[in-house]
Amino acid sequence: MKQIKKGSTIKAFDFDEFMKKNGLSNDGDNKESGIADKPMSFIPMPKAFENAIKLPGFPMGYMSIITGWSNTGKSTLINCLAASCVKNDILPIIYDTENNFDFSYARDCGFNVEPVYGIKEYEVVDEETGEINIEQREEIVDWKGHFVYFNTKRLAKQYGKNNYATGKQESKCRTDAVIEDIAYSINDFLEKQENDELPMPICFIWDSVGSISSYKSYASKVGNNMFDAGALSVAFNSILNNKIPSSRKTDSKYTNTFVCVNKIWNDSMNSVMGAPSIELKGGKSFFYAARLIIHLGGIAKSSIKKLTATAKGSTYQYGTVSKMRVNKNQLPTPFNVTYEGEIACVHNGLCCIEDLDNYKKTCIKDILKNIGSQCGGSSDNIKESEIEFDEEEMIDV
């Protein structure tokens, strides 16, 4: 190898000129370089959320996952998130593949939606004559507001002609929604946003991963976990690793967010020293992509504390207390905290544990009304002093 003689000089290399010449300048002249992130921002959540895990809300421009067993507060978090999106001019696009989204409860949690009423007809049998009469009733038939909502029926109706095996459109529409429908829908909305048809930031909310199968499972007429995990990995690869995180960059007009509830299961085969191990349904692709994972309740079971009020022999559950912990946090400093606390889920959303006594006082009329209805009458004959409040002991699992 030729040695450079001591004292010789090497011609200076103008690196900045090289970068400009090749369209790679990062000195601020290249407006489309997109190297820097926007300042860290959050979709704000109620004070109880921040008190529990020391984060002000869900991070914008990231994927976050909520896990937990049944009745631990996942739906309450989703309701409060959707409400905050509307308040902060972010479009919530909700994929409800469990068909359990309660718009009435969401509205109580601050979600700005209005019911749409319509007339429905019911067959009523006359007990004396046996004749069948048609009775008309005015009922809520839909909800309207600043949101987009899909349940499995609407997903299938909107995207059911897509054949994800051939990439072509079928003449017949599927009646079952599949995993790929959600990925297709997200890509479609992001394309509309890029074309300025949808000029606003978006928060995609999916409840829940693991509740519907892949197109391959659907076509084969049998469920297959490997098919479903593969579909999640392939269909969402660009969304999770490119489109959502790239919206944080300074060259992106809007910052988009993805929050999902992920079903879980206990892996007893890989438990450590007999302790249960929680795994996400659908494989590891979402786990690796998520920068924040929040778990509600216990590990082996829900482990919630029921908040009850009793009077005249009737008991009404007005809320629950649940553990809330950060299981994964790869957010930038100083937000990369892993903390554990407690939240109370009540009729109007989240309540700080230390504010429960005040909640009981301010919502005593609602509690009285519900106890009265369970007694089979009204709350007029129940005095506030007759109500006994109780909390079940939370099992620490």
In a domain, 255, yes or no: yes
Asked if residue 129 is part of any domain, the answer here is no
Enumerate residues 6+ apart whose C-beta is below 8 A from 350.
45, 46, 47, 48, 49, 73, 76, 77, 80, 343, 344
What local confidence, expressed as pLDDT, does residue 244 receive?
A: 98
**Cis-peptide into 271, omega within 30 deg:** no
Residue 385 lies in a domain: no
Per-residue confidence band for 30, with pLDDT thresholds at 50, 70 and 90 = low
Query: Domain limits at 224?
Result: 39-123+142-296+324-329
| Position 4 confidence tier, pLDDT thresholds 50, 70, 90 | low
Could you tell me if residue 393 is inside a domain?
A: no
Domain at 232, CATH number: 3.40.50.300
Query: Would 169 be classed as within a structural domain?
Result: yes
Top pLDDT among 395 and 163 is at 163
Q: pLDDT (tens digit, 9 = 90+) per residue, 362-388? A: 888 788 777 777 665 555 667 777 788
State the total domains in the chain. 1
pTM assigned to the model:
0.88
Quick check: is 250 in a domain? yes
Higher pLDDT, 300 or 200: 200
Q: How confident is the model at residue 273 (pLDDT cuts 50, 70, 90)?
A: low
What distance lies between CA 152 and its chain's CA centroid?
A: 16
The sign of the CA dihedral 99, 103, 104, 109 is positive
- 59 lies in some domain: yes
The residue among 146, 155, 141, 137 whose CA lies nearest residue 207 is 155
Q: How confident is the model at residue 1 (pLDDT cuts 50, 70, 90)?
A: low
Q: Is residue 9 part of a domain?
A: no
